[in-house]
Amino acid sequence: MEINNPAVLAEVEAAFAGYEAALMANDVDALQGYFWQSSLTIRYGGGENLYGYDEIGAFRAARSPVGLARTIDRTVITTYGQDFATAATLFYRESQPGKIGRQMQSWARMPEGWRVVAAHVSVIDS
Amino acid sequence: MSALARIEATLARIAERDPVLNAFTAITAERARARAAELDASRAAGRAALPLEGMPFAVKNLIDIAGLPTLAGSKINRDRAAATQDATLITRLEAAGAVLVGALNMGEYAYDFTGENVHDGASRNPHDHSRMAGGSSGGSGSAVGGDLVPLALGSDTNGSIRVPSSFCGIFGLKPTYGRLSRAGSFPFVASLDHLGPFARNVADLAAAYDAMQGADAGDAACTDRAPDLVGADLGKGIAGLKIGVLGGYFRDGATAAVLATLDHVAQSLGATQRLELPEAARARAAAYVITCTEGAALHLDRLRTRGADFDPAVRDRLIAGALVPAALVAKAQNFRRWYHDQVLRVFEGVDLLLAPATPCTAPMLGQTELDLGGKKVPLRANIGIYTQPISFIGLPVVAVPVTLPGASLPVAVQIIAAPWHEDVALRAAAYLEAAGVARAPQPRWP
Amino acid sequence: MADDSLDQMIAAGTALLGIPVQPEWLPAIRANLEVSLTLAQLVDGFALPDEAEPTPVYVP
């Protein structure tokens, strides 16, 4: 199994960038597009545990777009073989001084393209 | 740029944008990389460049890709055995140097003009993500309009190439019925089905068309005619061509913006002659009858055993189609010959006819009604009013995208030629493109 | 065409063809059948001579 095959890495980096852009725009439909449409998809968010694509979608739809802007830092994307990747990033929000956010995603290559199959977002004191 | 580098860039762009556009249902990345590497190796060994060298392309998912079940936009077909070989048109495009990167979303079983799909999600319009891509080749329109790939294949029974071309602002070719082989594709209406290409410019559209032409024993409807290659004739211009603008039925129900676009194209081509096609409304009705009845026949066993697994909007039309009295279908086929003869008589006096491709620009996703100057009409039933009477008799059509100054969305005009005269339609399209009138606009991103 | 005539047509036709129909599908099927029959009648209304040939011509 090859780690960080350049071609695979480029694909996941592009998908990650697209996800970040959608997050900043709070483009709910686009954000859902990046998640795997399955009941097996899980997102532990900053304040909620969401099981399945539909629960995640409901959360997105209800979320206030206020204060979502963030700066990301130390983004590390690693690919394993052709069909799996992890993406880890730190983030900072002006609305949360003194805190560091952490976002961890597992991406898998589905027939329809790269999709997040598991995600975890949390915040700790810096 | 090597083919492999081009494919990598394409795959990265798809990874970044397709989760939003939802044009693709499968991405054949390994196959694409392997093919690109082969092309680069043989090029390095001295092979001359092929006409479509390294060009990435994708196909509507009713077209067979070896190793994948041919979905045709359905949930039911997910249970089908994988296709054992590529469709003829894929083989021919790859022989010309193009590289397949994936399968594209579509309206279920092609009975659709919106590009929405209840199983795989809606394909989005690349110029406004809250709008339809059009259908049934929605993924094809979105992928090429969104500049994910320069070339895609789709199908057109009553408008399914021309409608997405219009809503997504790209060039589409529905060739003469029987011109391009349908071998290795899941059908809809054998009497009316055509396969054809989409591209962002006329040169690519024509090059793909030339690469795909030729007889094929695998498709009973495919012509034995030798290929009529168009590439060399594209720049010939329009001098001496008689071009008419269709009025009457083909102006009824169009928005003011669409009519202004049609008139602008007509003026650019110096087309002043206004013509009407006799019984166009009846032609559309006959196409509808043939569609719902042949479609029902095709799906009868699936309706018997898997009714609940269809898109309800498709199923309920097909069940109704199964009940239309056969005598009326036979009359529709008789009327078709009469209408064919009438329209060919019109073509004795003109080389090309112009008409809008759609009555409006791309509607919002989920929209069910169309507002025509204050009057509300059902949307889905009316999107194909201008395309149906033309495909009904298999005339070749090039859809050219036009965005009027100040307009935020494109819309396409149909350039319609007599049977087997794709070359004349493509020449006019090339002329409009060179004049800056027809153009595939850059997609919006993000 | 009257609603109950259409419903009878749907019931008899789908039974003959062996297509199971859920009751909640009926309104949409009826509406679509009405459209199809209206358009078929438009075609039917065109006077074609007896000698009119169908479009596809069989070549043995």
The string of pLDDT tens digits covering residues C3-45 is 789 999 999 999 999 999 999 999 999 999 999 999 999 999 9
pLDDT of residue B235: 95
Task: Please say if B60 is a catalytic residue.
Answer: yes
Cβ distance of C42 and B281 shorter than 8 Å: yes
pLDDT of residue B373: 67
Task: Please say if B137 is a catalytic residue.
Answer: no
Q: Which of B137, B160, B165, B166 is catalytic?
A: B160
Q: What are phi and psi of B126, to 5 degrees?
A: -70, -10
Which chain B residues in 56-85 lie under 8 Å from chain A, judged by CB atoms? 68
Distances (CA, A) of A79 to A14, A106, A111, B36: 13, 10, 17, 22
The predicted model gives B176-191 an average pLDDT of 97
Residue from B113, B370, B392 nearest B258 by CA: B370
Provide the 3-class DSSP secondary structure of residue B182: coil
Residues with Cβ within 8 Å of B44's Cβ and at least 6 positions away in sequence, in order, are none
Which secondary-structure segment (H or E) carries C27?
helix C26-44
The domain locations on chain B are: 3-434
Tell me if A100 sits within 8 A of A8, measured CB to CB: no
Provide the 3-class DSSP secondary structure of residue B245: strand
How many CB atoms are located within 10 Å of the residue B50 CB? 17
**Chains in contact with C, where contact requires at least 3 CB pairs less than 8 Å apart:** B
Q: Fill in the DSSP letter of residue B49.
A: P
Residues of chain B with C-beta less than 8 angstroms from the C-beta of A113:
14-15, 18-19, 24, 27
Query: B3-434: what fold?
Result: Amidase signature (AS) enzymes (3.90.1300)
Residue C53 binned pLDDT confidence (cut-offs 50, 70, 90): confident
C43 at B interface, C-beta within 8 A? yes
Q: Fill in the DSSP letter of residue B193.
A: -
Residue from B204, B216, B144 nearest B180 by CA: B216
Asked if pLDDT for residue C1 goes beyond 80, the answer is no
Which class for C17: exposed (0-12), middle (13-18), buried (19 or more C-beta within 10 A)? middle
Amino acid at B155: S
Q: Please tell me which of the candidates C17, C36, C56 has its beta carbon nearest to residue B289.
A: C36
Cβ distance of C39 and B300 shorter than 8 Å: no
Q: Please tell me which of the candidates B281, B304, B328 has its beta carbon nearest to residue C19.
A: B304
Give the whole-angstrom CA distance, residue B184 versus residue B281.
Answer: 33
Q: Fill in the DSSP letter of residue B271.
A: -
Cβ distance of C40 and B330 shorter than 8 Å: no
Residue from B131, B209, B146 nearest B172 by CA: B209
Tell me if A30 sits within 8 A of B19, measured CB to CB: yes
User: How many folded domains does chain A comprise?
Assistant: 1
pLDDT of residue B375: 81
Top-confidence residue, B165 or C54: B165
Asked if pLDDT for residue B155 goes beyond 80, the answer is yes
Residue A67 binned pLDDT confidence (cut-offs 50, 70, 90): confident
Tell me if B153 sits within 8 A of B197, measured CB to CB: yes
How many Cα atoms sit within 13 Å of B218 on the Cβ side?
13
pLDDT of residue B389: 98
Asked if pLDDT for residue B336 goes beyond 90, the answer is yes
Whole-structure pTM value: 0.93
Asked if pLDDT for residue A29 goes beyond 90, the answer is no
- Rounded to a whole number of angstroms, the distance from the CA of C10 to the nearest CA of chain B is 7
Task: Please say if B236 is a catalytic residue.
Answer: no
Helical pair B202-212 and B88-95, crossing angle rounded to 10 deg: 110
Q: Is residue A1 part of a domain?
A: no
Tell me if B156 sits within 8 A of B194, measured CB to CB: yes
pLDDT in tens, B76-130: 999 999 999 999 999 999 999 999 999 999 999 999 999 999 999 999 999 999 9
Token pair of B177, please? 């019925």
- Rounded to a whole number of angstroms, the distance from the CA of B131 to the nearest CA of chain A is 12
For chains A and B, what is the number of CB pairs under 8 angstroms? 72
The CATH number of residue A27's host domain is 3.10.450.50
Q: Is residue A67 part of a domain?
A: yes
Nearest CA in chain A to B23: A112
pLDDT of residue C2: 77
pLDDT in tens, B194-245: 999 999 999 999 999 999 999 999 999 999 999 999 999 999 999 999 999 9
pLDDT of residue C37: 96
How many CB atoms are located within 10 Å of the residue A100 CB? 16
How many Cα atoms sit within 13 Å of B285 on the Cβ side?
22
| Number of helical H runs and strand E runs in chain C | 2, 0
Asked if pLDDT for residue B374 goes beyond 80, the answer is no
